[in-house]
Amino acid sequence: MGMRGTVILLLAPMILLTWQAASQNSCDPGWFGSLCQYKCRCRQNKCAANGVCTNNASCEGGWFGPACQYADLAFRSYTSARWQSQDGDDKTCLTSSDSDSITVKLNKTYHFSWLRVRLSNPDLLYNVTVYFRRDNSLNCTNKRTSRVDNTTLDIHCDLHAKVNELTLSGAGVPHLCSVYISGGRNLALRQNTTQSSLYELFATSDKAVDGNTDKAYTKKSCSHTEGGKDYPNLNLTLSRPQHVTRYVIYNRSNRRDRLKGFVLTSYSQSLTPVFNYTDRKASAQLVYTVIADNVTVPTYLVNVVATDTREKILTLCELEVYGESACPPGQYGRECEHTCNCAGDQSCFVSTGGCSSGCAAGFQGEDCMTRCDPGRYGLGCQSSCSQFCVRDNDTRTDFCNNTNGACLYGCQDGYQGPTCTEGTSLAFNHIQN
């Protein structure tokens, strides 16, 4: 006994040091971000430090977009297509014998902001039209697109209506491989929380935003207030301005009656209520989805109160708050940390950094931050560098400026000018001879 105690005392400081060193630049497995506040949504937790999937891993089913952080509302919902275009698998595609119109019915009625289509035929990428009702009476208002890559297009619409059905039609539809409909990101993860009291030591309020939706209390991932106290409630404070569109509450799987009649209120910074919801469902739910009014406030406080008067307990196995960052124009990203790079200095989409005006000259890719491939330059990377530029033997390196095509290593003999397209007098003589 005595010896074992000594060994532990010696080891403990070393373990602590190692742990501190590791925690400064790495997160718990399955998390990423500067504050380790984002949950990895790649299959088998294969995330790099920026959340992007490593080793060609794809997003977990039900997630898509940058770092797989966007919930896919179309995932495994009903579609009229013979094959499941919303199965989250980009490798299963429709074929040219299929209909040029498909309908996707969502499980619920949601706010709509954007969708992503992936096609097997890059030539028909822009030949997909979106309607939101079966009679095509609701169009994609103010439609804007941004090309992610050869076969992937994001389509944004400004709808002032909630929808539960979409129709895609056009020549591109028989070549569809995937349809993803954005339900926003979960903004609540690892944000600050408080609750009115504590039952067991492990049932702290942060368990409601730990990304673990397990509904069994004994698995220790639910929050739980002490019984018998009035107004059992939990507060969540979002740390930055957001557009909130949806709340999802995971109920405990046993102890039936506690959430019935719960009240959810969101407040602005000045504690003005900006959204209210009172549960009036006749029957109990395992998961409650509350569609919010889309309001933006600098700081957003979400308060959930249990109103059951028998036990007076609030247990939340998870509280998810879906929406999107509210970034100043010209910025994008989960923390608005990036600057747009669009043609004509236009603003980009906050979700991806993609541009409806196209990328600035010299850039391409989902967020317009990838330089043109070697040998290409200009708007849409459409132009080829002059064949008279001096080249590095390594074909992977640029030999002209990605923006304006100026040759980086000078011109081959006989040519001059920034883009080496003018013949020198020497070359001129040569031609004349």
175 sits near ligand NAG (criterion: CB under 6 A): no
Residue 126 found at the interface with ligand NAG (CB under 6 A): yes
Q: Which residue's CB atom is positioned nearest to ligand NAG? A: 284
Nearer to ligand NAG, 52 or 171 (CB): 171
Stretch that binds ligand NAG, among 15-23, 191-199, 352-360, 421-429 (CB under 6 A): 191-199
| Closest distance of CB 191 from ligand NAG, Å | 5
Cα 34 to Cα 335: distance, rounded to the nearest angstrom: 10
Binds ligand NAG by CB under 6 A, chosen from 103, 212, 357, 403: 403
Count Cβ atoms within 10 A of the Cβ of residue 347 and give its class: 0-12 exposed, 13-18 middle, 19 or more buried.
Answer: middle
- Does 171 sit near ligand NAG (CB under 6 A)? yes
Smallest Cα–Cα separation from 193: which of 238, 229, 258?
238
Contacting range for ligand NAG; rule: CB under 6 A; set: 2-10, 13-21, 267-275, 421-429: 267-275
Q: In the bound complex, what is the minimum distance in angstroms from residue 391's beta carbon to ligand NAG? A: 7
Q: Nearest to residue 356, comparing CAs of 180, 142, 168, 138?
A: 142
Output the CA torsion 117→347→49→149 (10° steps).
30
End-to-end CA distance of the chain: 100
H or E element at residue 185? strand 185-186
309: phi > 0 → left, psi -120 to 50 → alpha, else beta; which?
Answer: alpha
Q: Binding string to ligand NAG for residues 291 to 330, with x set by CB under 6 A, is what?
A: ---x--------x---------------------------
Query: Binding to ligand NAG by residue 276, rule CB under 6 A?
Result: yes
How many residues lie near ligand NAG (CB under 6 A)?
47
Stretch that binds ligand NAG, among 4-12, 45-53, 70-78, 336-344 (CB under 6 A): 70-78
| Residue 216 makes contact with ligand NAG by CB under 6 A | no
Residue 91 engages ligand NAG in binding (rule: CB under 6 A) = no
DSSP run (H or E) holding 147: strand 144-149
Helix (H, G, I), strand (E, B) or coil at 176: strand
> What secondary structure letter does DSSP report for 53?
B
Contact status: 339 vs ligand NAG (CB under 6 A): no
Rounded to whole angstroms, the Cα distance separating 346 from 343 reads 6
Helix (H) or strand (E) holding 15: helix 2-25
What is the smallest separation between the CB atom of 173 and ligand NAG, expressed in angstroms?
10
Q: Does 410 bind ligand NAG (CB under 6 A)?
A: no
Beta-bridge mates of residue 322: 186, 246
**Residues of the shown chain interacting with ligand NAG in the complex, contacts defined by CB under 6 A:** 55-56, 73, 75-77, 107, 111, 113, 126-127, 137, 139, 150, 171, 191-192, 194-196, 233, 235, 239, 243, 245, 251, 253, 256-260, 271, 273-276, 284-286, 294, 303, 392-393, 401, 403-404
